[in-house]
Amino acid sequence: MSSIISIQGLHKYFGDVQAVKNVGLEIARGEVVAIVGPSGSGKSTVLRCINYLEEPTAGTIVIDGDELGSDDIDINLIRAEVGMVFQSFNLFPHLTALENVTVAQKLVRKRKPDEADRVGMEQLARVGIPEKAESYPHQLSGGQQQRVAIARSLAMEPKIMLFDEPTSALDPEMIKEVLDVMLLLASEGMTMVVVTHEMGFCRAAANRVVFMDEGEVVEIAPPDQLFSAPQHDRTKLFLSQILQH
Amino acid sequence: MTLAPEQLEPISIELPKRLTWRTFPYWLVAILGFVVVMAVQILFGEEFTKAFDFIIGGLGLTLYASALAFVISMFIGLIAAVARMSKSVIARNIATTYIEFIRGVPMLVLLVTFGIVLVPDMLELVGLDRRLFDLTHRGIIGLSAVYGAFLAEVFRAGIESIPKGQTEAARSLGMTKAQTMQRIVIPQAIRNILPALGNDFIALLKDSALLSILAIREMTQMTKLYTGSSFRFDEGYLVLTFVYLSLTLILSLLVQWYGRRIGTVSTSR
């Protein structure tokens, strides 16, 4: 099985604090991997290292054959292939929904305005809000903003999508509309790495779940196995805490 | 936002929502009263009319110098702000040297130094004629250099006010640092600092009076000339005060109207 993402011996320090300790992870093409764990466990940092928003202190990350940080690759080209969806959406507030979805297509993919608009509308339709193309982010609900953010990444036609707690900033009634879009992507065979607290999503869509604690990978297993028969005490403790309510 | 102490806030025309005898803006009545009385004097008083007709001949140059200096100082300020935030040690230190140098010297002294010494010397240094620019434009360059340093701090504050997530989102889409600055960060920063820039333009317009030290025939210099020959100091300086006050009142109204207009549109997420 060839990996599209290969992480080996990843360490990340912020000053003296070690956020990530010796993480290794192989992700296959088309696989959906969820990363769960208590806050401060380093799961977001691992995700941010995958598109080099954080520079690893040590270790190697290979994306589809290209090693991040080596001199002969252009990180901007890799990032165009790796979509990222943030907890706080980070839409560009001075641009309309459609412009949010087209700006990087034009600048990075060098698409003509017509083509960028066409692809942009397709992606807005895919996330279910083509009628909001001319709206500005502040005119949209949180769930709509997050869906525009997903469309913005999809318009680059990425090989991999990274999701950093995409529903954590949403009101409960809006979580489903975002998860539905993510489930659709998973069913279409997109390679996805998702940091999340949504155990329902993990069960429904994830091929494997990675449990992290204190910067380390504690356990990796398919969701059914991890949730019903966790092997480590730390996993059991975490699951008992989040499944209590 | 660190602004130089020279930049006094323009008159703020903030009207209370409910008018009572306590909140009534008597001060505005007083200022408008002065403006009206002066306008009547200029219309009907012979000596005031004469003074006004002479002094207003400098209005064009005051506006021209202020507008041109403002445009140039915006360019300088934007470049200096980006340089000051750059990772490059050299760029950062050049920008900081410039900004701290300007902030450490009185504006009047800077204008004379630029106008008489620095601009001609720098032209010579790059192999051009020392007299390429007339005194008016040397003065405008001096004013631009001074305000460029002030505006650099305004731009820096504006750029730093844009959340880091904006840069991260743009970079994660594959946009370069320069594209991210140009297309994502700076357009938002400028929108945020437009009211501050408007206030700085008003401050610059008032400081253009200092150009009279270089005998540039803007309004203040015209007043000096008029009062020097006619000895009508009362009329001359009251008329000058009236014209500046009218200009700043109109401009602050515009800035506040604009600030309120964009204030209704949330620019952050």
CA-nearest residue to A84 within chain B is B172
The whole-number pLDDT of residue B8 equals 41
Confidence band of B105 (pLDDT split at 50, 70, 90): very high
Contact of A20 with A11, CB cutoff 8 Å: yes
Reduced to 3 states (helix: H, G, I; strand: E, B; else coil), residue B223 is helix
Confidence band of B11 (pLDDT split at 50, 70, 90): low
Of B168, B169, B191, the CB nearest to A94: B191
pLDDT of residue B7 exceeding 50: no
A108 at B interface, C-beta within 8 A: yes
The whole-number pLDDT of residue A1 equals 53
**Low-confidence winner among A161-170, A225-234, B19-28, B199-208 (lowest mean pLDDT):** B19-28
Q: Give me the mean pLDDT over the B32-39 stretch.
A: 93
The whole-number pLDDT of residue B17 equals 74
The whole-number pLDDT of residue B14 equals 66
Q: Give me the mean pLDDT over the B167-180 stretch.
A: 95
The whole-number pLDDT of residue B9 equals 47
Distance from CA of A77 to the nearest CA of B (A): 6
CA–CA separation, B78 and B82 (whole Å): 6
Give the pLDDT confidence of B140-150 residue by residue, as tens digits: 999 999 999 99
The whole-number pLDDT of residue B83 equals 94
The whole-number pLDDT of residue B12 equals 58
A69 at B interface, C-beta within 8 A: no
Give the pLDDT confidence of B80-93 residue by residue, as tens digits: 999 999 989 999 99
Of A80, A137, A153, the CB nearest to B269: A137
Residue B56 gets which letter from DSSP?
G
Which chain B residues contact residue A170 at CB under 8 A? none
Residue with tokens 């935030």: B85
DSSP string, chain A: --EEEEEEEEEEEETTEEEEEEEEEEEETT-EEEEE-STTSSHHHHHHHHTTSS--SEEEEEETTEETT-TTS-HHHHHHHEEEE-TT----TTS-HHHHHHHHHHHTS---HHHHHHHHHHHHHHTT-GGGTT--GGGS-HHHHHHHHHHHHHTT--SEEEEESTTTTS-HHHHHHHHHHHHHHHHTT-EEEEE-S-HHHHHHH-SEEEEEETTEEEEEE-HHHHHHS--SHHHHHHHHHHH--
Which chain B residues contact residue A83 at CB under 8 A? 172-173
The whole-number pLDDT of residue B267 equals 40
The whole-number pLDDT of residue B2 equals 41
Cα–Cα distances (Å) from B34 to A83, A142, B23, B37, B40, in that order, read: 63, 53, 21, 5, 10
Judged by CB atoms closer than 8 Å, whether chains meet at B188 and A94 is answered as yes
The whole-number pLDDT of residue B194 equals 86
Cα–Cα distances (Å) from A43 to A215, A223, B140, B172, in that order, read: 7, 17, 56, 18
Residue B11 gets which letter from DSSP?
P
The whole-number pLDDT of residue B1 equals 37
Judged by CB atoms closer than 8 Å, whether chains meet at A90 and B187 is answered as no
Chains A, B: CB contacts under 8 A, how many?
Answer: 77
Q: What is the pLDDT along chain A (245 residues), one digit of tens a residue?
A: 579 999 999 999 999 999 999 999 999 999 999 999 998 899 999 999 999 999 999 999 999 989 998 888 899 999 999 999 999 999 999 999 999 999 999 999 999 999 999 999 999 999 999 999 999 999 999 999 999 999 999 999 999 999 999 999 999 999 999 999 999 999 999 999 999 999 999 999 999 999 999 999 999 999 999 999 999 999 999 998 887 65
